[in-house]
Each structure stands twice: as C-alpha cells, then as structure tokens.
C-alpha cells in the first residue's frame, strides 16, 4: 500500500484521478526556507523530508512526499502567514510571470525524485480584488496565496507546464516514479514493453534516479 505524506486535499484528489490507491500518513516537517538554497534545492529538500518522515512511520511501505512552491524573483513565496501577507503576495504576482516548482519524492527500496517546473502569468489585479479573494478563504493555505483550480483562475492569463503540478502534484512525474519503482500505475490501452512511454532506465534523461536511502527507526 502506498502512503501519501501529505494532508493536502488537492494531492489526494490528483492521486485518485489517476487511479492510485493510498493511505494518508501525517507528518510534521519544518518548511522554513534557507536563504542560501535555491528554490529547486528547497523544494527537493522538503519533498524528501516529507517522504522520509513518512517512511520512518511505515518502514516497510512505499511513501510519497511532495512540495510545491511559487517562485517570484527566485525566492519561494510559501504559504501566507496572515491576511496582510496574503494580500502582499497577490499584489506582488499581479501583472507578472512567476514559476511554480513541484517536487515529488517516492521512497521505497530506493529514493526516486522528479521536479516539475511551470510558468504562470497573472493579469493585473487591484487591491480590492485581492482583498475580496482573500476573504473567500481559498488562499489561506495555498503556496503563493492562490489556487489555480479555484477562483484564482480568473486572475491567470497564461500557463506553461503542468496544471497538476501547479495544483500540487505533477501527475506525469508521479506516474514516472511509480513505474520506475515497480509500483505500476494506470495504463491506457494495451500494455507494451515501455509502459507509460518512459525511456529505458539506462537512457532515461531524469533529474534524480534511485538513490540509496537510510533512515533511523
């Protein structure tokens, strides 16, 4: 049984969308960004920390962890601390392009990791619009203070990349690491020697293949 080290309802919905069975494991990870690390390193560290924390609780089972960060001017925005912080985030994104990084980490017998990078362009939004949006409650627990699958769709002029990655779990990359770890995934159509269109392992142009993973029980 796959364990999902996340309480995010968006990630649960996305896993269900591709027919993956799972159980949720609650983990507590410090998500403080270290100013010396790049946004890519930050997302990787947090995704690995979540999966690792879940693995310590369920050492015999595969555990999936993920992290999503809205990046503006090469700094992760994170989740808003309060209303004022949320409004400042939304107004900073107004009329500009930003990146969304989603890292997904699977720990089974090895550690498997993928990073999805997407680009999002906001239209200009007024302070009144930002305040009205905040007051709906939708931005409160979202990276960058917005949810692409919700009312914030009204602010978004253009995206390039992974819609599911912007939501919080890049499904293409998730499917890749599940298949790579031998856990399988949904196949559409007859099976072949190269399921899900992935490249043979020795030729796969991936960012992080299986790594030995150690943890303390």
Q: What is the pLDDT of residue 194?
A: 46
Element (H, E) at 19: none
What is the residue-wise DSSP string for 29-70?
---PPPTTS-HHHHHHHHHHHHHHHHHHHSTTS-EEEEEEEE
The mean pLDDT values, 10 residues at a time, for the chain of 217 residues are: 95 95 96 94 98 97 97 94 97 98 97 98 98 97 95 98 98 96 66 42 38 43
Burial 159-172 (b: 16+ CB within 10 A, else e): eebbebbbbbbbbe
Are 87 and 146 within 8 A, CB to CB?
no
Q: Is 67 noted as a catalytic residue in this protein? A: yes
Q: What is the pLDDT of residue 197?
A: 41
Q: What is the pLDDT of residue 191?
A: 47
The catalytic position among 67, 85, 97, 192 is 67
Q: What is the pLDDT of residue 159?
A: 98
Q: What is the pLDDT of residue 215?
A: 40
Give the residue extent of every domain in the chain.
2-78+98-121+162-211
User: What is the Cβ-side half-sphere exposure of residue 73, based on CA atoms within 13 angstroms?
Assistant: 5
The tokens of 164 are what?
A: 């599911």
CATH number of 2-78+98-121+162-211: 3.90.950.10
Q: What is the pLDDT of residue 93?
A: 98
Closest among 101, 24, 95 to 69, alpha carbons compared: 101
Q: What is the pLDDT of residue 17?
A: 95
Q: What is the pLDDT of residue 188?
A: 54
**Residue where the block lists tokens 């009329």:** 95
């Amino acid at each position: 049984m796959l364990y999902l080290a996340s309480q995010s309802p968006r990630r649960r919905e996305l896993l269900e969308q591709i027919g993956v069975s799972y159980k949720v494991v609650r983990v507590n990870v410090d998500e403080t960004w270290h100013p010396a690390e790049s946004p890519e390193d930050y997302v990787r560290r947090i995704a690995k920390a979540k999966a690792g924390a879940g693995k310590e609780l369920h050492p015999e089972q595969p555990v999936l962890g993920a992290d999503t960060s809205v990046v503006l001017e090469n700094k992760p925005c994170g989740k808003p601390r309060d209303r004022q912080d949320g409004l400042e985030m939304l107004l900073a994104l107004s009329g500009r392009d930003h990146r969304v990084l989603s890292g997904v980490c699977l720990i089974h017998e090895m550690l498997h990791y993928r990073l999805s990078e997407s680009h999002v362009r906001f239209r200009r939004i007024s302070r009144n619009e930002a305040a009205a949006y905040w007051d709906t409650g939708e931005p409160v627990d979202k990276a960058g203070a917005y949810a692409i699958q919700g009312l914030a769709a009204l602010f978004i002029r253009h995206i390039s990349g992974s819609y599911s990655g912007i939501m919080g779990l890049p499904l293409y990359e998730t499917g890749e690491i599940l298949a790579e770890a031998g856990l399988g995934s949904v196949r559409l159509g007859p099976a072949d020697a190269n399921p899900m269109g992935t490249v043979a392992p020795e030729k796969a142009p991936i960012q992080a293949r299986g790594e030995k993973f150690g943890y303390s029980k």
